[in-house]
Amino acid sequence: MAIPALRRISQLSDRGAFILDYPMPTWANLTYLRCNAEFSMDKPLSLAGILRQTPRLIRLHIRLLFQPRFYGQIDDISLLNIASLTIDDYRPVGASLLLESIYAPVLEAVRYNITQGGNAKSDALITLLKRSPNVQELSLGTPAFPETVEQYLRHCPSLRILYIQGESRFRGASTDAQHALLQSFVLDDPTRCLCPKLEYIRIEPILAVSLSTLLNLIRLKNGTNCHLRKWKVVVLNIRYRAPDKVLQVIDELKLEERRGDIKLQISYTQHNDFMRNLDEGLPQPGDPVNDWWPSVIDHTTDFS
């Protein structure tokens, strides 16, 4: 491939040859790489070697397809200019090999999705976040527990944008743990408060929390607290137990929305055997959330 000025590579299918098996005269001009990575025998070392040859790389999107027979070690990979990293991980054990080796001091956006293994906590992701203190956007596939999210966020002091994807709920999570996650964003103690610069929060899994917890989340980040950045967008799905109070809370949230110039998209589901939906809530006409969302990560692309 005599294309020394090539700047973008995108492999769109998981069928066919492994793209990094092809010889390249140089990877030095790449700014964008999107591909499958099948880790077996020497292939992780091959990928690591290629990444070390990409000093201009800005965006990296890898779908990790690991084979269990690889047990090697990967030395550090310095990606000094990378701003956006997306990892779709089909083998959670294997992800640690790559993530723990990456040093990306100016990394701003991370999307991490484990598709097997129950979305257990990733110590490798924590290692990556510790080494990348400037991350401002984090997108996650639904973790098993809210405590897992909190452990990730403890290492994101600069975070402005949080998106937790998923259409169901946190598996096995207690109501107290879900309450604690939301409460951690508005603690009075700045040394314990989670992500004080957070402005955009979007949690798709249903949260079983009280309406007072929801109201406090909005009220205490409305611009009046000097150590907390005010909300700009809040998108949540709430499962509640107090139907007699929901209309009052909705009215109060509407007041906070106007007062703080906050964009709210909140859906309410009553807690009962049939999970009956209420008509009331803070819906917006159409689906404006994607227009509100300032992400630098492309959430619409996949490898299908």
Segment of 12-26, 75-89, 118-132, 161-175 carrying the highest mean pLDDT: 75-89
- Cα separations (Å) of 208 from 8, 78, 179, 272, 276? 43, 41, 8, 12, 14
DSSP state string for 144-196: S-HHHHHHHHTT-TT--EEEE--SSB-TT--HHHHHHHHHGGG-S-TTT-S-T
Per-residue model confidence (pLDDT) at position 63: 81
CATH architecture observed for domain 148-290: Alpha-Beta Horseshoe (3.80)
- If DSSP codes are grouped into helix, strand and coil, which group holds residue 217? helix
The domain segmentation of the chain, as residue ranges, is 1-135, 148-290
Per-residue model confidence (pLDDT) at position 242: 61
Digit-coded pLDDT (tens) for 183-216: 999 998 888 999 999 999 999 988 888 888 888 9
Q: Which two tokens stand for residue 173?
A: 């999570």
Q: Which two tokens stand for residue 166?
A: 């998923």
pLDDT tops 50 at residue 17: no
Predicted TM-score of the model (pTM): 0.84
Computed over every residue of the chain, the mean pLDDT equals: 77
Burial of 42 (0-12, 13-18, 19+ CB in 10 A): exposed
pLDDT band at residue 280, thresholds of 50, 70 and 90? Answer: very low
pLDDT tops 70 at residue 154: yes
Average the pLDDT over 158-171 and give the result: 85
Distance from C-alpha of 248 to C-alpha of 245, rounded to nearest angstrom: 5
Residues 209, 215 contacting (CB under 8 angstroms): no
pLDDT tops 50 at residue 13: no
Per-residue model confidence (pLDDT) at position 31: 92
Average the pLDDT over 50-54 and give the result: 87
Residues 1, 24 contacting (CB under 8 angstroms): yes
Question: Which residues are CB-contacts of 173 (< 8 A; sequence separation ≥ 6)?
Answer: 144, 145, 146
pLDDT tops 50 at residue 273: no
